Amino acid sequence: MKTLYTAEALASGEGRDGNARSNDGILDVALASPVELGGSGQGTNPEQLFAAGYAACFHSALRLVGRKERADLTDSAVAAKVHLGQLEDGGFGIAAELEIALPALDLTTAEQLVAKAHQICPYSNATRGNIPVDIKILEFAA
């Protein structure tokens, strides 16, 4: 792989209850375990950060593919859900869902663009074969 960009961040404190900061200081967030895991919920958590990154990255890939195909991506959006769960062996794992809105496109065109975006998105390529990723097109032109 030819590196085009490298992001750097440091997590400190108590892991899920600490701080995460990018090396340039643009990202600087308090971390807190969610209430569902016994935490205070008074900060963000790694799953939220992953969901935000995946949604943004996939939407960018979708828009790139759409421009090449001259598709109308008016009001397009991508929502991501990242699920944290316990594995049978006692460890922990994640699964992801992407919910896509392409209201200006018919379902067939939307499905084709989403499939192409899924092939070029770096997050999709990183997760493929490693975690379950469920992609749903929730909004499209009738």
Structural domains of the chain ordered from first start: 1-44 (2.20.25.10), 46-141 (3.30.300.20)
Classify 119 as helix, strand or coil.
Answer: helix
Nearest Cα residue to 134 out of 105, 99, 107: 99
Q: Which strand (E) or helix (H) includes residue 57?
A: helix 46-69
**What are the backbone dihedrals phi and psi of residue 67, each rounded to the nearest 5 degrees, phi first?**
-65, -45
Distance from C-alpha of 91 to C-alpha of 86, rounded to nearest angstrom: 6
| pLDDT over threshold 90, residue 15 | no
Average pLDDT, the chain: 96
Q: Kindly report, residue by residue over 127-139, the tens digit of the pLDDT.
A: 999 999 999 999 8
Specify the pTM. Answer: 0.94
Q: Kindly report, residue by residue over 65-82, the tens digit of the pLDDT.
A: 999 999 999 999 999 999
Distance from C-alpha of 39 to C-alpha of 28, rounded to nearest angstrom: 20
